[in-house]
Amino acid sequence: MLRFFAIQLLLISSVILSGCQTVQNSKVIASAFNLTTGLQQKVMDRYAPGTVIVQQNIVYAPQQNLSLDLYQPQNIASIGPRPTIVWIHGGGWISGSKEHARGYFKLLAAQGYNVVSVQYQFAPKATYPSQLHQINQALKFLDTYADTYHIDAQNLYLAGDSAGANLASHYAALLTNPAFAEQSGIQPYLQPGQLKGLILHCGIYDLEAFASTAPEEMKIVEWGVYNLIQAYTGERKNDATFLKHISPIQYITPSYPPVFISGGNKDFLTDTQSLPFVKALKEQQIPVTAVFYPESKAWLIHEYQFFMGKKESQETFIKTLDFLHQLSP
């Protein structure tokens, strides 16, 4: 996984870390994530269409100074309210940017969809469940101002990559499982019928498994995973019961929305997270579009979906559009 290789480079250049505290470790990992995200962003920008309207930094939570970006078809004013994809970016809960996949968002917007990319606060400064409350705030804002921004509030999708896929899938579980929402102390603003589907790339759906299945042969990955969980959970990475209680995979009901899910053949999260999540969804008879490439000779790393120069990435994008068209013709 590209991001963890970047972490290794940073580790070599700093004497730090094995015994360091969560805040310091998170800063090192965040620096690595931001480095690779910047490269990823430049690659995606090459494929971004220019015929898209972009409104940046629309404030949805003034107290925390949190904002969102809105990508829309060029003819949005004439075509009226459109289905809207609310994207939650990745970064291990500790880093990232709402602009990191802007080229990808422009590609989606050019196909007739609104895309909203949401900013949220990072761990360890803000720990679980802060990010979920902020996503809830963003969705309330979008629902309230749907007419202003040409949003079809009855036709919403939650989407995310990596940790963003965790947050998107988690919110969907809160929305469709009232007992889980009550247990979590979170009251989702949306009504279940407003959420038409999920788009999940390379996500984390089982925190307990995430903590226990990092590849032991890659110690730097194991170290990185432990520190991400430690930062996000407020230093409760060794509390298996708590990790299970905040894992979306544990709270799937038949009311969960349809899911598009994908993962790379060189991403350990595919076998340890995505495929078990697909199994859990199918057990509840949730419609699932699963896109994996186990036989491909291509090197499909974490978040390969954004590297649009690859044939498999282009195929995954087309299948994403097919998923959207089926649910929002």
The predicted pLDDT at position 28 comes to: 66
3-class DSSP state of 43: helix
The predicted pLDDT at position 254 comes to: 98
Q: Residue 179 maps to which CATH number?
A: 3.40.50.1820
pLDDT 10s digits, 108-141: 999 999 999 999 999 999 999 999 999 999 999 9
3-class DSSP state of 18: coil
The predicted pLDDT at position 230 comes to: 93
Angstrom CA distances, 249 to 116, 167, 222, 283, 308, stand at: 25, 12, 21, 11, 29
Residues in the chain, pLDDT under 70: 1-22, 28-30, 32-35, 215-221
The predicted pLDDT at position 24 comes to: 73
Give residue 157's domain range. 2-327
pTM greater than 0.85 = yes
Indicate the number of domains in the chain: 1
The predicted pLDDT at position 15 comes to: 34
Strand order in the sheet with 151-161: 52-61, 66-73, 114-118, 82-88, 151-161, 195-201, 259-262, 288-291
How many degrees, rounded to 5, is the angle at CA 280 between CA 287 and CA 33? 95
The predicted pLDDT at position 128 comes to: 98
